Structure 1
Amino acid sequence: MVEMKKRRSTVISLFELLRDITNLIDLELKLSIAEFRRKIGSAKRDVILMAIGLLLLLLSLLILTCSAISALAIVLPLWLAALVVGALFAASGLWFVLTSKKRLSKTSPLPRESFERIRSISRKLKE
């Protein structure tokens, strides 16, 4: 009788452990999804900022190009003034694009923190 109660208690404990592990994995997956959404939201903001920066860059290029070429044309031939101004604006635009690209490349959509917690739990369960 005592042996049967021990066996039943062990079986119940195993089922409870299995249920708890399942719940833990379910919660970690939900946390991973939330982390993924947060990172996507952050990347979306960076893409919007990049687009705004590119639009402002284009508008400023139109205005500044005309005025800079006009100013340089006083001391240089018109074609050389246009070349100098175009090169400066191209370098500035490239800097903005590369800076934004660098920030975006640092953002990973993968929920690495949750994956690490799941790996840690898995290691502990194996011990």
Structure 2
Amino acid sequence: MIRILLAEDDQAMRTYLARALENAGYDVLAVDRGTEALPYLKTQHFDLLLSDIVMPEMDGIELAQRCAEVSPITKVMFITGFAAVSLRAGREAPHAKVLSKPFHLRDIVMEVQRLFGLSEHAQL
């Protein structure tokens, strides 16, 4: 089963995303900031880091850079509501997918499926 570490500081969005991804068959651990996510990246295996970019203490870009150091095989996908931040993410983490808010839950599930080369009807 694909494991996802979700870092999102907005509680409602975090709950919404975690539930949608779990309903799609993914194993999700959700945290509210990058500094909380980092210890998990160091001690557990995750297939995907799904992170908001703008968060307190450590933004998603710094988290992705630290992830690349401690868990280089973990894929990264950003979610953001800020276009300028999206451009920065593309420059500083060029291998990461950026999904701009607002998006529909099925969009994020489809992007995760694409990232792992899964078809819409694949069993996870």
- Output the TM-score relative to the length of structure 1: 0.19
| Greater share of residues in strand | 2
Structure number, greater radius of gyration: 1
Q: Which has the higher contact order (CA 8 A, sep 6+)?
A: 1
